[in-house]
Amino acid sequence: MSAFRAALRLSRRDALRAKGRTALILLMIGLPVLVVTGALTLFATAQVDLREELPYRLGAADAHIDALHNGRPVKQTVEGAGAGRVHMSDPLWTTEAVAALVKGRVIPNSTVWVDLLVDGVLKAVVGFEVDLREPMTKGMRTLVEGRFPASTGEIAVSSSLAEAGGRIGETLKVSRKGVPLKVVGITENPVRPTEDEVFALRGAMMDNNGNGGGTGWLLDATEPVTWEQVRRLNAVGLVVQSRALIENPPASAPGALRSDTSITADYVVILGVMVVMVVMEIVLMAGSAFAVGLRRRRHELAVLAAQGASPAHLRLVVAADGLVLGGAATLAGTVIGVPAGLAVLSLLSPSGLAQGPADVPWGQVVSVAALGLVSGVVSALIPAFQAGRTAPAQVLAGRDPAGRDRAGWPVLGLLLVVAGVGLIVKLFGGRVQFVIAACVLVILGVVVLTPWLVRRTAGLASGRALAVRLAVRDAVRHRGRTASAVAAVMAAAAAVVALSITLHSKGQNLAADGNDLPDGVFTVSGALLDESSWTRARAEVERRLPTVRTVGGYAVVNGKDEFTLSLMQGRTGYAVELNPVVGDGEALELAMGGQDERAVQALSAGKAVVFRPGVVKDGRVGLGYAAKHTGKGKVVEVEAVEIPIEDSHWISVIPPSAVRKIGLSAVPRVLYGLHDVPDPERFAGQIKAVVWDAEVRFPWGDNRSMAIWIMVGAAAFLMLGGTFVATGLAAADLRRDLNTMAAVGAAPRTRRRIVAAQAGYISGLGALMGLLVGLPMGLALAWPAGAVTIPGPSGFQVMLQEPTIAIPWLPLALVVVGLPLLAALVAGLFAPTRMRLARRLT
């Protein structure tokens, strides 16, 4: 123990002396701990469970009762989720009827979706019919300004609606009937402050001619509501949310409040992948930094060895660096990460994230801290073993100890790569988490192969400039430090390349995410609108956007039902497009990005124009159609012509005459607008305020680009950090050679070029390897997102295929080319040029 305490003291003193290296190691180990701890805290706080929401759901009441049926039994979970159907023939529940079944006082508390006209914009908001002046509702909402409603002609709105124009004193119109209600108060939801909410008394908003769905009551019971009482109310069609049951759920009651302790295979795979990747990256990055520390402390260790310290003592001194710095980094990351997660959550409140009470998952946080500490210790193990082989005489004489020519374990690395590639091929198109695990196996194999690969690059120095020859030969000669830095850069680059291709690829189910519109195009449609309503909707679009070009299209209907079209590859083949454009010459020009005489003639002849090669067979293409309400339909063949266009977002244009030939109607109820609307949500609300049934669609906001650039930033930190650490160590090892060159007349710029070449070699080789490893991984990860099974006409299961792989060239070019050039430039600019003479024994 005395040797251990002495090693800790030496490590602490060395950390204080080498402040730059210490800060770098603390950042490399502490930053992942900080980020993960903050993210865990953020998500735990944002995930507000039912127990935490009770004050905002029930106020001071003991239970909430919902009316779904009258006289028809229902089943529910302990948290109050009921199953059953509401029948139009069911008579409405009354407050008196509910009060007769329970012990205590009940007051109405109903929830209903209402349409609210605010500042010329129609918004769908959650409406609550409850008297917030009642003591039973205390704590449900905070009154920010004004007062709570006291009559059926008054409402209170949430802060978000007040900011949108629903200020106190304003009169807002509610529902399609346009019932005027006066705003008398502003409320705030403590958990979801951005939620659009409206509060009124019973009967102000709910349609009393309906079936009672959403009708509810708060109960101030004389005793806690038990599971037996809940089951009795379920027998007559009432669903109950009991405070007592939610706070203390009985073991016999069905529900999701009791924690599920089962561990699934998916959870184990994802957790294992995360642990392996985090530990590997920290060890590779911090290991180089600890190697720099070993280089700096070599003289100190030699003095200790000369005074009688054993190799075990020397190993202990260096290993203590990992414990001291890893412990400090982990502690700092944990202490800063918790409040940082809460601060970020408060900043993200405008995005709609729930703002629950501060919740720190200490079990997970402690596990992350332990992982960071273990990573720090593991990072110092290899330098520790190297320290045990210190030769005091050689070090004190200023000579490098003789090293062994290590080739690594190329056979093991090759086996891991082959096994990983084999698993990727076998799992291709399967479950993503297992594909990711196979990709990690490939990365581990390449990490093991890196020393051998570095050795193979020795021939690159032949015939090159002096700086490049010295840099490459020195890197190959010291493969221990070079390989870890190159592997760290490779792992970061491979992850960015693979995930960037996955995110950027268009292999997604366009029908599921609604993103079948190109950027800068919106649609207004209303298949079942009458001529007058459609004319008003189109006129409102033109009034709001007078300078915007609009192109008309057609909706497919049959009586009172709207139909969905699918362009098929043959009658029984794959669907290649959902909801193809049905239109005339203007729509064709929009889809093609210009005019084409052949396409215009084909469309005029009633033929479909298809822009993707290989879809049209023998002059015909499959066209599936299915009714939206019933799902019934079939697949037919229509005449088509193929005109390949590479950059067209849409795949085809169907003429209205082709739709009419199959017995359906094509009505002009679609409008395409070529414009990037600044506020899509407000624009849609403005159009719906004029024609309630109009549907306004925009391209979905694509956050993938932002995610890609965030990953590029993270990769830049990892790649540059690892490069600079390895370059610093290389410059220290080359000091005598550089001093000799300076002594015979080499200019300072020569030293800068050598250091820049070292940085460029390390980051460039790692980035190139990352590109070669990441490309196939990206293809494997992107493909599962492109194969989605959806219900088709007449129950026909069509496989919606969009397997085109899109490469984000600019981000990848910055990672593979830009970052190595930046590393070389920065390393060269800040390279030390002053000559330091080495001491030698005589």
State residue 61's pLDDT score. Answer: 95
pLDDT for the residue numbered 786 = 44
Alpha-helical runs (H) found in 348-478: 362-379, 381-387, 392-396, 410-426, 432-456, 466-477
The predicted pLDDT at position 257 comes to 53
At 39-55, the pLDDT tens digits run 888 888 888 878 888 88
Contacts of 20 (CB under 8 A, 6+ apart): none
Whether this prediction's pTM lies above 0.85 is answered by no
With residue 501 as reference, give the H or E element that holds it: helix 479-504
Whole-number pLDDT of residue 703: 54
- Residues of the chain short of pLDDT 50, as ranges, are 85-89, 208-213, 258-262, 403, 507-515, 785-791, 793-802, 840-842
What is the distance between the alpha carbons of residues 150 and 132, in angstroms, rounded to a whole number?
9
**Is 347 within 8 Å of 43 (Cβ atoms)?**
no
225 in helix, strand or coil? Answer: coil
Residue 281: C-alpha distances to residues 43, 268, 276, 406, 500 (Å): 24, 20, 8, 22, 19
Residue 635 bridge partners (DSSP): 624
Residue type, 645: I
Tell me the C-alpha distance between 631 and 798, whole Å: 13
Residue among 355, 348, 347, 296 nearest 321 (CA): 296
d(CA 220, CA 553): 57
CB 831 within 8 A of CB 751: yes
265 exposed, middle or buried (CB, 10 Å; 0-12, 13-18, 19+)?
Answer: exposed
In this structure, the number of other CB atoms found within 10 A of the CB of residue 762 comes to: 33
CA-to-CA distance for 589 and 585, rounded, in angstroms?
A: 6
Instruction: Write out the two tokens for 268.
Output: 């184990």
Task: Tell me the helices (H) and strands (E) count for the chain, helix number first.
Answer: 28, 25
Single-letter code of the amino acid located at 328: A
Residues in the chain: 842
Give the pLDDT score at 133.
94
For residue 26, count other CB atoms closer than 10 A to its CB.
21
3-class secondary structure, 736: helix
- Residues with Cβ within 8 Å of residue 102, at least 6 apart in sequence: 65, 219, 221, 225, 229, 233
Residue spans of the domains in the chain: they are 60-247, 516-697
Cβ-based neighbour number of residue 477 at 10 Å: 15
Residues 514 and 93: their CA atoms lie apart, in Å, by 39
C-alpha to C-alpha distances, 748 to 409, 650, 729, 824, nearest whole angstrom: 39, 59, 19, 16
CB 184 within 8 A of CB 154: yes
